[in-house]
Chain A
Amino acid sequence: MTVKRSKWKGWGFIGPGFLWTIAFFVVPLLIMAAYSLFQRVGGRIVTDLSWSNYVAFFSKSHHLNALINSLEVTLITTIISIVLAYPLAYILAFRIPPRWQRMALMMAILPFWTSYVVRSYSWLLVLSSNGIISNIIQWLGVVDHPISLANSRTATVIGFVHFFTMLLTLTIFANLVQISPNYRKAAADLGASWWQIFWRITLPLSIPGVMVGAFLTIVLALGDYITPQILGGFREVLLPQAIMLQIQRQADFPAAAAMSLVLMVVISIIFLLFSRWLKIERM
C-alpha cells in the first residue's frame, strides 16, 4: 500500500457493505430497542417510554418460564450432544484409516443436507402416536394403544440432539485432527497406554475445541423456533415460541421486541462468559 492511496477511495469500497449493515442490522436493532419501551394499548402503539414490557416479562410466570425452559432444554441438549458426539469424533479421527475418514465423516453429517424444517418434522414420523415407534411397540404387543412421544420436552430434546450431535461431531473432529500426532507419538514413546494418551494428552488439548462447539450449540439452540414448535408444540413453550406468539396472536410488537432483546442479552452474557473462559485457557 503506497502513501498516495486515499482513504476516501477506501471508503468508497467499504461504503456499500457498511451502509447495508447499518441500515438493515444496526438500525432495526435500535428501532426494536425503542419499540421495547413502547406499549400496545387497545390495538394501537403508544410511544410513552417505559419499562413496562420488561417488568411484565419478568413478573409474568409463563413468560419467565419460557426463558427458564429454554435455558434448561439448551443445557440438556448441549450436554447430551457432546457426550454422543465426542466418542464418534474420536473414533473417526483416530480409529478410521485416513482413506475412509472423509467418507465416514460425510456420512455422519449427511442429514445436515435435509432442510432444517423437514429434518425436524421427520422426527414426528418417528415419535408421534401414529409414527414408527408407536407402531412397532404396538406390534410387539408391549402396549395396546398408540403412544405419542411428540409434543413434549423429550421430543424437542431429541430433535435438537439429532442436529447438534452432527454439528459437534464435525467441529470436534476438525479440532482433534489438527492436534499434532507427534504429541501422541511422544507420549507413546514414553510408555503411555492408549487410555493414558487419551486422558492426559488428547482430551485436555481438545477441550477448547469442545467449548467452542458447545458455545455454538447453546447460541443456536436458544434462538431456534422451528424444532421446539414442531416437536414440543405448546405443551412447553420456549422463549422463541413465546416471542412468535406475541406477534402472531397478540400482534403486540412492543412486548415481542422486549422479549427479543432479553434473548439477545442472555446470548451476549453467555458469549462474554465463554470469551473470558477461553482467554483464561489461552494463558
Chain B
Amino acid sequence: MSQMVDIKRISKSFGKTIALSEIDLTIEEGQFFALVGPSGSGKTTLLNILGGFVEPSAGRVFIAGQDVSSQPPARRPTTSMFQDYALFPHMSVGANVGFGLLMRKIPRAQRVSRVAAALEMVGLSGMSARRIHQLSGGQQQRVALARALVVEPKVLLLDEPLGALDLNLRRQMQQELLHIQKQVGTTFVHVTHDQEEAMSIADVITVMNNGHIEDVGPPARVYMKPRTLFTATFMGESNIFKGTVAARSDDSMAVDTAFGRLKVTGAAELGARVNLSIRPEQIIAADGEIQGQVPLGVLQVEEVSFFGTHHRCLGRHVKSNLPMIIRLPQHQAVGIGQDLNLSVQREDVVLLTQ
C-alpha cells in the first residue's frame, strides 16, 4: 500500500491561539482513517487544511506524492462531506450530484449515467429529480456522499457527517459508509468526536488533543494499549493509578503500585513515577477465589448502575482507598457495600507514557 496523504510538520495559529502544533501524519491509500478528539483538539482544523479551506501557518501537505500546500480546494484531488451537507437547495438531487462533473466539463450523457450509478451506490436509485427539501436527513446525507464520490477523488474528507442523525440511523450509516468505502477503495479521512464511532469503522485512529497527536494506530491497539494518559481516558473509561519503577530488564519492568508490585511491558527510568491504566471491563471481580493472573486486592462497592449489557460499579480499593470503576457481566448482580476480590490478566496492565 502506498502513501496517499503525507502531512509534514503542519502548524496553525489563529492569532494567539495555537490550533495545531507540528503535526506529522501519514495516511495509506485505501484506508478508512479517523481523527478523534474533543472540541478544540484541532481535528477539524487539520481536516480543513487537508481540504484547502484553511492555510497552514507552517508545514506542507502532500497528496498522492504532490505538494498541494498552496492549492485551493477546487484544484486538490480531495472532496469534502460537510457537517450540514451543504446540498444546493435550488437544484435537484441529480443536479447536486452531477455538479462536480459539470465543473469538470463532462458531457451531459456521461454525467447522467455517472450520477445514476452514484445514486445507486448510495441506495437512492431513481431519486434524481427530487428536490432537496423533500428528502429526510439520512437521504440528504447519502446525496452529499454521492456528490463527493462521483468525481472520483483521491481522498474523501468527512467532517462529523453523522452528528445530526439519531442513534439507530447513525449506526446504520456508519456501516454503510464502511461498506461503500471498501467498495470504492477511496481513502476516507473522517473526523468525529465519538470514539465508539471511530473504533467501529476506522482502519486507523488518530487521537488528538489540544493541537497535537496523542496516539495513532489500529482501533484495537489504541484501545487495549493506549500510549498516553489522555488516550486512555478519552477512548473509553480507564482506571488510572500511579507507580514507581522498582526494577527493569530488557522489555519489562517491575512497578510498585497500590496493588503491589506489578510486571508491565515498557521502558522507563528506574525510580520514575509512572501512570498505569487498566480498563474496567478487564478487571475480573469475584465473590470468592480470584481467577485472573494478577491479584489486585479487595474492592468495596459504593454504586451500581445497570447498563443492559453489563453492570457498572464504582467502588473503593479497600487497602489504598483508591476509587475504581469495574464492569460486571450481565448476570453477576452485586449489592452496595459488598466486597469483591479483584484480579486482572498481566497484559491488561498498561504503562502510559504521560
> Smallest CB–CB gap between B102 and chain A, Å?
8
Binds A, one of B26-34, B71-79, B217-225, B308-316: B71-79
A10 within 8 A of B: no
Q: How distant is B142 from chain A, measured CB to nearest CB, in Å? A: 15
Interchain CB contact under 8 A, A183 and B86: yes
Residues of B within 8 A of A144 (CB): none
Bound state CA distance, A196 and B89, in angstroms?
Answer: 16
Interface string of B48-80 (1 = CB under 8 A from A): 000101000000000000000000111100111
Answer whether residue B193 sits at the interface, using C-beta atoms and an 8 A cutoff.
no
**Residue B230, interface by CB 8 Å:** no
Q: Is B90 an interface residue (CB 8 A)?
A: yes
Which of A48-56, A117-125, A186-194 sits within the interface? A186-194
* Pair A185/B86 contact, Cβ less than 8 Å: yes
Q: Specify which chain B residues have a CB less than 8 angstroms from the CB of A205 in the assembled complex.
A: 89-90
- A133 is an interface residue with CB less than 8 A from chain B: no
**B84 close to A182 (CB less than 8 A):** yes
Residue of A nearest to B151 (CB): A190
Q: Report which of B53, B78, B103 forms a contact with A185, defined as CB distance below 8 A.
A: B53
CB <8 Å contact, B99 and A187: yes
**A71 in the interface, Cβ–Cβ < 8 Å?**
no
Is A34 interfacial (CB-CB < 8 Å)?
Answer: no
Across-interface contacts of B80 in A (CB, < 8 A): 185-186, 189
How many CB-defined contacts (below 8 Å) exist between A and B? 53
Asked if A180 is at the interface of the complex by the 8 Å CB criterion, the answer is: yes
The answer to whether A196 and B103 have CB atoms under 8 Å apart is yes
* Chain B residues within 8 Å of chain A by Cβ, number: 22
Interface of A is mostly: helix
User: Complex: how many Å from CA A190 to CA B73?
Assistant: 8
Known contacts A188-B74, A189-B79, A193-B74; is-contact A182 B103 (Cβ 8 Å)? no
Q: Which residue of B lies closest to A182 (CB)?
A: B86
Question: A185 near B73 (CB under 8 angstroms)?
Answer: yes
Q: Is B147 an interface residue (CB 8 A)?
A: yes
Supposing A182-B82, A196-B103 touch, asked if A189 and B74 sit within 8 A by C-beta, the answer is: yes
| B104 x A191 contact (CB < 8 A) | yes
For the complex formed, measure the closest distance between the CB of A21 and the CB atoms of chain B, giving whole angstroms: 37
Decide: B74 and A186 in contact? CB cutoff 8 A. Answer: no
Q: Are B100 and A190 in contact (CB under 8 A)?
A: yes
**CB-defined contacts of A189 to chain B, threshold 8 Å:** 51, 53, 73-74, 78-80
Q: Does A219 contact B (CB under 8 A)?
A: no
CB distance from B145 to the nearest CB of A (A): 13
Bound CA span A200–B148, Å: 18
Chain B CB within 8 A of A244 CB = no
**Which positions in A face B, CB cutoff 8 Å?**
180, 182-183, 185-193, 196, 200-201, 204-205
Question: Assuming A191-B74, A200-B99, what are 10 further A-B pairs, CB within 8 angstroms?
Answer: A180-B86, A182-B82, A187-B88, A187-B103, A189-B53, A190-B74, A190-B148, A191-B151, A192-B74, A204-B90
Could you jot down 27 A-B contacts, CB within 8 Å? A182-B82, A182-B84, A183-B86, A183-B88, A185-B53, A185-B80, A185-B86, A186-B80, A186-B82, A186-B86, A187-B88, A187-B99, A187-B103, A188-B72, A189-B51, A189-B74, A189-B79, A190-B79, A190-B99, A190-B147, A190-B148, A191-B74, A191-B75, A191-B100, A191-B151, A192-B103, A205-B89
Q: Which 6 A-B pairs have the closest CB atoms?
A: A190-B100, A191-B103, A182-B86, A186-B86, A189-B73, A191-B74
